[in-house]
Amino acid sequence: MDAQDKKIATDLCYEIIKEVSRAIRPYVGKPESGEKIKMGADGTPTSLIDIVAEEKVINILKNAPVLSYIVSEEIGELKLGKGTKRSISLTHELRRDDLDDEEKPRFIFLVDPVDGTSNAIKEIPAFGISIAVANVPEGRLATLNDVELGFISNFGNGNFFEAEKGKGCWLNNEEVHPSNIVNISNITLGGFTKSGTSEASQLVDNARRMRVLGSVVLEISYVASGRYDAFIDLRGSRIIDIAASKLILEEAGGIITDKYGEKLNNKLSIHERTIVVAANNKILHKQMIDTLNNNQTDFIGKVGIVGRIDQNRSILFSAKIIDYLLTNGREVVIETRLARKLKDLKENPKLDRIIEKTKRKYPDIAPLLDNINFNIDYQQISCGIFDFECDMAVVLGGDGTLLRAQSKMKPETPIFGVNMGTVGFLTEIEAKDTFSALEEVLKGNYYKEQRSKLVVSHENHNYSAMNEVVIMTEKPAKMLHFEIQVDGEIIEEVRADGLIVSTPSGSTAYAMSAGGPIVDPKVGGFIIIPICPYKLGARPFIVSDNSEITVKLLKKGKTAVFVMDGQLNEEAEYEEEIKFKKSDKDVYLIRTSTKYFYKKVKDKLSEGGIHKDNSWC
């Protein structure tokens, strides 16, 4: 957007704000102004005062000398200008390649004509208009990063915020900046929480003051100007509400992200929403993110080491990690089996040759295998994994290694997984990034990701699974007959090759291969998936993790094997029941990145989970 375009867009915004202010003035403080006229395009009720304001916006842009797209709360998405008005889908329009220069709009306007409608009707002076102006990109969808100009006017008290990308933010023509508060106990916090969110309650309880004004656009702007120190909306704000205020806050020097600290770059659409966490500075923002995600960290003083013992790469790499931790003043304990392998390798006369061969085979970690210190008595610092008493366990291997380790360790022990397998959904850190990640963890820059587990009950015995339980016959290609109950209600009776009961963690494992959905680990549910069912109507179920699932075998003479996380096998006979419920003990994984789950899924599955270098297989 060049200077001329910015002036055209700014003049249109000034005119819109002035005319909307005049148009709604007779409706402010009048109960009849709140009469619900229809449902808006965003799925929320539309009041009379909203209609009055939006019609003024549309008329101005319709009669403007340039073409524009508009995304607005009530009417949705339109193409306006030069006397025309046409309903469109912005996503579809931006993908078109058949428009000549005369037909191409110059701007995308994102407008909430009256934010804080209830306040306006009750004459509470916290309501106003929000307008963001974005570039029209070539050959791609528009996102929040395309927003160049932002304007917010509080009709209740006359305050006027405006910002230009890369140039700054102003309130009533004076440049503004956020406050410098860094302690949660001293902050003024605004926003909207969600019932049942204990982490949000903790944030609210710790704040010095809590404000709920009922206007997202104004409250984010108040963070920009230092009136608030922070703002959250855990319900999910509409993009049209935050497009202008996001730019205003960022240009003032503040921070605004999603719940996980990821920058907001949502597509521009009437239907798009996002959770918002806004703060005056990085220090306070990190505290908020940690609190909302239950990321309180503890000092890591003692570290347990568990690793694959079937490959030299893992054993050598564990030796390097042990030396690194000891050098950094941490106490180390090693799983007994790994300690024996390290001792054997240390005493092997061909050790140098083994190291060089490993480095050639795995060039990505070759520099990390230089100068390994083997002058350590591994046996002296070893013990059985059941007896680990440590602040964190480092697990080297694939997801299978991690599943084996967590099933044997005390459940409260957080796990730092180093991926030396193939996919590595659970063992998130790749080997080459291990030491930079460990450095951050030892500094306390990490968070604990909570994962639920299953308790499996059969014939007065209890077992546990973090990923899934698979029920199948001992012989291939033989079907079983299942009755499936949830909280005592029969939901399905099915003949199938087998059945999977999976946690969200396991949804990206066998459950996914069997046609089940990918489920965010934060979802409180379990997945029930028949394997190759005989009945076409037998589909996967997602049920609450507060429910008890019962699976009964209905076919005489058939013995089923149920397997927990691919580690432990047990048998069940005709009419025996296998019960599943949520464990009261969760698994905690150490994370150093707030990379969101869906991006990780996309990264891991982009090539079928197999590294291009076949040596990883």
| Residues designated as active site | 399
Q: Is 202 exposed, middle or buried (0-12, 13-18, 19+ CB in 10 A)?
A: middle
The C-alpha atoms of residue 346 and residue 352 are separated, in whole angstroms, by: 10
Distance of CA 98 to the CA centre of its chain: 37
The C-alpha atoms of residue 266 and residue 264 are separated, in whole angstroms, by: 6
Length of the chain in terms of residues written:
617
Amino acid in position 391? D
The C-alpha atoms of residue 106 and residue 495 are separated, in whole angstroms, by: 60
Cβ atoms 35, 27 nearer than 8 A: no
Cβ of 616: how many Cβ atoms within 10 Å? 18
Helix or strand (DSSP H, E) at 327:
helix 312-327
Q: What stretches of 432-565 adopt beta strand conformation (E)?
A: 447-451, 454-458, 461-465, 468-473, 480-486, 489-502, 525-533, 541-544, 549-553, 560-564
- 299 CB contacts (<8 Å, ≥6 apart)? 391, 444
Kindly write down the DSSP assignment for every residue of 548-599, as one continuous string: -EEEEE-STT--EEEEETTTEEEEE-TT-EEEEEE-SS-EEEEES----HHH
3-state secondary structure of 128: strand
Helix or strand (DSSP H, E) at 37:
strand 36-39
The C-alpha atoms of residue 306 and residue 292 are separated, in whole angstroms, by: 31
The C-alpha atoms of residue 35 and residue 21 are separated, in whole angstroms, by: 19
Closest CA to 497 of 550, 538, 442: 538
The C-alpha atoms of residue 548 and residue 580 are separated, in whole angstroms, by: 6
| H helix intervals, 329-412 | 336-346, 351-361, 399-408
How big is the CA angle at 153 (ends 162 and 66), to the nearest 5 degrees? Answer: 70
- 70 CB contacts (<8 Å, ≥6 apart)? 57, 58, 61, 77, 78, 80, 108, 109, 110, 111
Helix or strand (DSSP H, E) at 395:
strand 392-397
Q: What is the DSSP letter of 364?
A: G
Intra-chain end-to-end CA distance of the chain, in Å: 49
Cβ of 213: how many Cβ atoms within 10 Å? 18
